[in-house]
Amino acid sequence: MDKRLDQIRTRARNATQGSDQPLLSAAQAHNLAALTASDCGMAQLARDLCAGQAAILLRAGGDDAATAKLALQPLINLGRLLIRDGDESGHHHFERLFTAAKSRTDTVIAGIPISFSELTATQEDHRTIVQWLWSILLSDGTRALTQTGRWSQALQHIQRHNAIGRRLLDGRQTAVLAHSACGDPDYALQLLDSSHTESPWEHTVAATLRVLCRSRAGRDRPPDIEEIVERYPQAEKTVREHSAFRVRQGLCVIDLAMGLPGTHHITEAVVHDALEAEDASLAHDVLTHRTCRARLAPSTAATLQERIDASGLGQGTLPAEARRDLMESVRTSEKALKNALNPSSRTDASTGQGVAPDTGTEAPRERPEGINEHPHRHGVA
Domain segments of the chain: what residues?
164-220, 223-314
Q: According to the model, what pLDDT value does residue 372 have? A: 63
CA distances from 100 to 103, 111, 159, 173, 353 (A): 5, 14, 21, 28, 40
Distance CA 279, CA 380 (A): 7
Mapping DSSP to helix (H, G, I), strand (E, B) and coil, where does residue 234 land?
Answer: helix
Q: Are 371 and 74 in contact (CB under 8 A)?
A: no
Phi/psi of residue 41, each to 5°?
85, 15
Contact present, 58 and 71 (Cβ < 8 Å): yes
Picking from 228, 210, 206, the residue whose alpha carbon sits closest to that of residue 219 is 210
Residues of the chain with pLDDT under 70: 233-241, 343-381
Contact yes or no for 154/143 (Cβ under 8 A): no
Q: How many CB atoms lie within 10 A of CB 105?
A: 12
Backbone angles phi, psi at 301, to 5 degrees: -60, -40
Cα 102 to the chain's mean position, in Å?
23
8 A C-beta contact, residue 29 and residue 23: no
pLDDT of residue 234: 62
Give the per-residue pLDDT at 56: 95
